[in-house]
Amino acid sequence: MLSHFRKKYYGWLSYAFASEVFVIVSLTLFMPICLEQFARDNGYLVPDKTERCSSDVSKLDNDVTPGRCVVKIGWFWVDTASFSLYVFSASVLLQALTVISVGGIADHPPHRKILLLTCAWAGALAATFFLPLSSNSPLWFLSALLAVIANVGFGTSVVAMNAYLPSLAKESPEVVKAYAVYRNAEESASILGNEPDDNDNEMSDQPLIHNTTTDEVKILKSQYETELSRTTSRISSFGIALGYGAGIFLLFVALIPVTMMKGATFSLRLAISLSGIWWAVFSIPALIWLPSGRNTSSVDDEDAIWVDAETVATGKWSLWKEVIAAWKRLGGMLRWNEIKRLRNTFKFLAAWFLLSDAFTTITGTAILFAKTVLNMQSSSLILIGIIVPSSGILGSLFWPRVQRRYGWSNQRVLLTLLMLASLVPAYGCLGFISVFRGRFGGLTTKGEMFGLAIYFGFVLGAFNGYARAFYAEFLPLGEEARWYGLFSITDKSSSFIGPLIVGLISDLTGNIRYAFFFLVVMIWAAIPILKSVDVERGRRDAQSYKYSSVNGTA
């Protein structure tokens, strides 16, 4: 029999194994390519807009840059690369609105897992439906709708998934052991007369909130906090690595039909559909192992904390009431008084607003840049798609070792990763220097894309895991889903802006390379904000935090 912790842990990892495949195979690789190809198959070459665009770039000479292709959407002509970016931008905007609406639902014990799996299977079904939709069909534009549904389903399910992470870390054996030692020492200190203050007594059921007076207890408390922080980042990073491994495997499988069909649109649709099927099937273990939240007697107490009195008394629960309450609660969370009480949490969210946009847009822009500027074939793009997560696995396993060896905090690791990541778009900017034109350097050759894929993947895999783990240190107890919803909102709000700006840059200049300047600025602007986060103060504020109603106080 698996223990409660093991079941929850394996269930959480199984969903990471299932859902990350969609990100790697579809969201960051095949979906941008496929949407661009759908538009290209129905587009025309500029400036005359009378000649159809070639749908088989493999027939073009490697030294010849394909003509600019545009497609008519409504009354407007847009670049086919911009079409893909605009669809993604619309999907993340809708995803942000959805995440706001379901934040409270994910915090209800009986509904967190239901929300996760419902959204997961809706997204997986939309991805699977790419297969029967032909680019030659008069309904080809429905590809945009399927992409939106799949992305919204993924993003919403991940909010519920992330809400399990803080409790997973607290329930791990090593953290439980460190906490027991700390509490025993604190109780001994209390017996000797070193009582905690009134506030500590009031919150004694919550970890990490005692202001003890003996050096021994302070040291043990610090050791517990360090163990909790490292365990959170370790679990988060392992989930990323496991998902990357699954994505790499499916990319190798998809490489076979894409290579045999020379990048035909059907092969791209098949790859997206395979990721949807994988996503749906391997979410089943999460259905079996993740706790439903109904058993409030288990150690999974956070699943039982946020249930209002009326729901408990009457047993009634209303979806629409929860949606309305979620929007009201968001407005309350964003009041200036609440922001000041959790200032370090909001500082991180401000940095995340910029960083998530930069990393997400770097990935999508690089793929479109490789396809439309460097004229790389679909098989080469798949190889890049394999290289990035493969390197990401190494990165997600390497950086925790560096952290343990040198005693770095999660914050220091993140800052280091950001400085390294900023070099990727900065390198692309060098392509405007005349000395690199037609030669190696400045991301002007296909070979450089493979080298940058290794480098960027090594940074990206660790960044995703550490960002999620670092944020977990600043979450009020019992409201993990709600605050991870705000984390996702911040993420998707900026990810809506990034692709939109890159799409406009591509349309206005006819050269997507200019977007690299924008991405460098986004990363560098976030670094001083992240550096200003006071980790210790942020933890204390989150642990003592109680939400104030609009008309009341904590």
CA distances from 305 to 71, 265, 308, 342, 439 (A): 52, 49, 9, 20, 61
The reported pLDDT for the residue numbered 297 is 35
- Work out the pLDDT band at 209, boundaries 50, 70, 90: very low
486 phi and psi angles, rounded to 5 deg = -65, -35
The reported pLDDT for the residue numbered 106 is 67
Token couple for 369: 């840049």
The reported pLDDT for the residue numbered 548 is 61
The reported pLDDT for the residue numbered 495 is 59
Mean pLDDT score, 162-176: 86
Class of domain 4-59+69-543: mainly alpha
Q: Is there a cis peptide before residue 47, judged by omega within 30 degrees of 0? A: yes
- Asked if 538 contacts 474 with a C-beta cutoff of 8 angstroms, the reply is yes
The reported pLDDT for the residue numbered 145 is 95
The reported pLDDT for the residue numbered 435 is 58
Token couple for 336: 């200036």
**Is this model's pTM higher than 0.85 or not?**
no
Boundaries of every domain in the chain: 4-59+69-543
User: Is residue 236 predicted with pLDDT exceeding 50?
Assistant: yes
List all residues 6 or more positions away from 110 whose beta carbon is below 8 Å from its beta carbon: 292, 293, 294, 317
Could you report the per-residue pLDDT of 383-417, keeping only the tens digit for each?
887 888 888 888 888 888 888 888 888 899 999 99
Q: In the chain, pLDDT over 70 holds for what percent of residues?
A: 81
Helix axes 80-106, 319-333, angle to 10 degrees: 100
- Asked if 470 contacts 411 with a C-beta cutoff of 8 angstroms, the reply is yes
Q: Which residues of 326-359 are buried (b: 16+ CB within 10 A; e: fewer)?
A: beebbeebeeeebeebbbbbbbbbbbbbbbbbbb
- Work out the pLDDT band at 193, boundaries 50, 70, 90: low
198 vs 347, which has greater pLDDT? 347
The top-scoring range by mean pLDDT among 363-372, 435-444, 544-553 is 363-372
User: Is residue 328 predicted with pLDDT exceeding 80?
Assistant: no
The reported pLDDT for the residue numbered 440 is 66
The C-alpha atoms of residue 373 and residue 363 are separated, in whole angstroms, by 15
DSSP lists the bridge partners of residue 469 as none
- Asked if 143 contacts 133 with a C-beta cutoff of 8 angstroms, the reply is yes
DSSP lists the bridge partners of residue 73 as 76
User: Is residue 305 predicted with pLDDT exceeding 80?
Assistant: no
- 3-state percent helix, strand, coil for the chain, nearest multiple of 5: 75, 0, 25
**Closest by Cα among 241, 222, 245 to 233:** 241
The reported pLDDT for the residue numbered 478 is 65
Could you report the per-residue pLDDT of 451-488, keeping only the tens digit for each?
888 999 899 878 878 887 888 888 887 666 667 767 76
Could you report the per-residue pLDDT of 103-150, keeping only the tens digit for each?
667 666 567 888 899 999 999 999 999 999 988 888 898 999 999 999
Residue 28: CA count within 13 A, CB half-sphere: 28
The C-alpha atoms of residue 539 and residue 427 are separated, in whole angstroms, by 37
User: Is residue 199 predicted with pLDDT exceeding 60?
Assistant: no
